[in-house]
Structure 1
């Protein structure tokens, strides 16, 4: 009988194949109806504001496998004003700028605002580091940027993972998604669904390559020969991911997803406004993005 890891790997591969088949027929608004996907459970209006108790998170079904950074700890690492990037309120006059502000700028500046708040010192305290090639073999399995046929692009930024702990490697991933579509409450964009499945599929298929030179060689030849290496996560069921989704008009929301009981369970927050910097929930998004990994109970 195949293991739960193998079964979930097959389910994720099947979901990704279906999603790619949808790509040419995504409506202009970017949203997709996922009720036909029997392997997906979609939970909307999930409360991301009360996840500070690790035991309570693990007691949920399925468990929430992320513990946000404590606010008191985040406040120890303020943003250096000299390094903070520009942020324009939604109604701010930009007529004096050399270049007009386009829709993608309103999306990207949400990501940079949150990235600036998650300082290098804060990431270090949470033992998180960037997922980069060729150091990480994840990128041999995943392409976290796609188009909507002739209907725009989505991309990702700021991919981080936990540092290994006494030889234990965690499957958790967190990243920002940028899409110049206007999101609807309680609905999911094609980009959001695709990024979740692609990231989890990539993690499930990621290879263990100890040699630095071997990783560099695989990176240079686009992964040819990777099958000779074992899976990095050969005994993992959940493959948890956390996404900060930045969308139009100047909003963002949070996603957590994992495999559970042969289903992909997606938890989605409400939409939050980032139209005015002083009112934007920057600390909430920073704390969630900087979450530490939780290990499910046996």
Structure 2
């Protein structure tokens, strides 16, 4: 059969960066095409990566790299797929492979800076963040992640400047708001951070991210009753499937903290069932929570935490 019309439609969606629509077409067509072109494989792989379906994307990327080990598009795709799964050292190696044959490569150069920072190459990371912001001065991902990077280096005045710049231009970004709340927590204490969330919630009572992120802050602050109240406030809110799974993960963390293991088991069962209906990787910034877990949980609790994290992020294998 001739699938030219469908492929053209998928390609157009890809060029328009409508990856969700493109991947639906590719999902239906790809298995029907006996000899797909390299460009088709590349586009499908990148669409899968954009939809957080990293393992599937990596398999297609391998096909292209087997034929052309220096394909920069696919090396970058591989880098992102690994980095988003917290395999930062491996991801870094792939980006540096690109730079070996093209030292002026600038696509996602801010992500390279991020990987350098996550692997302890702070001076080099700072250098490349600055290059990234020279190259794309309005890239809010670069701006916000540079702010977080500066915070970790305790360069607070600079960090605050970049946080405020990012929030001014992207005030609904839940990751950015969460990071700024933790910045306030670090600078001024938990009460100031709670006030920040209270103000946000007053302005938008239906935003489930505010309650979940505030609950995470409360867990880390050892305010278990406050965490409970924030989590409960999401009960009557409409939530997509991915948020239902994330919320069950945080309930799981709460039950581990409280050592309420029967309730934890109920959450695990429910989360496992829901996870079967969601195929994408769930990428969640747990920097602060994992530090809390490592410092406060005993060996048994840490094992339980790893269990619920694995179910949330990738599902039950």
What is the TM-score of this pair, normalised by structure 2?
A: 0.25
| More strand as a share of residues | 1
Structure exhibiting the larger radius of gyration computed from Cα positions: 2
